[in-house]
Amino acid sequence: MARLRALDLGALFRGRCPRCHEGPIFGPLMRRPLAMNAACPNCRLVFEREPGYFLGAMYVSYMLGVLTVLRVSLALLLLLYVAWPVVVAIALIQTLLTMVVSFRFSRVVWLYIDQVLDPR
């Protein structure tokens, strides 16, 4: 039952705790965009188990980045025939603009993956 509850996609997209689905993982986006809560304020689940715990989130972030940038870049190159230096510049700007959201979302996804594989 706990494994099925860990797959609540609504809570995942809202950035809520993978165990209780209520407490926020991150603080407000505008005030402190990269600040992560140490534990869930509701169920006290500690989010970072050990140093280097979020290394796997880097792979999730990379996958999200490649999927978004690659689609836009290919559309610009193949459908709109934009010159490749312009496409590279747009890809860099797109990466910079989506970095914070990708950072936060990849950590949330990593916490949910970990909760399904090794519930605490």
pLDDT digits (tens, 9 = 90+) for 20-47: 999 999 988 888 888 999 999 999 999 9
Instruction: List, in sequence order, every residue forming a beta bridge with 39; answer none if it has no partner.
Output: 46
Mean pLDDT of all residues belonging to the chain:
90
Q: Between vectors from CA 78 to CA 99 and to CA 88, what angle results, nearest 5°?
A: 35
Judge whether residue 14 has pLDDT over 90: yes
Collapsing DSSP to helix, strand or coil, 20 comes out as: coil
Q: In the numeric block, which tokens belong to residue 8?
A: 């609540």
Residue 6: predicted pLDDT: 44
Q: How far is CA 11 from CA 20, 105, 120, in A?
A: 9, 12, 18
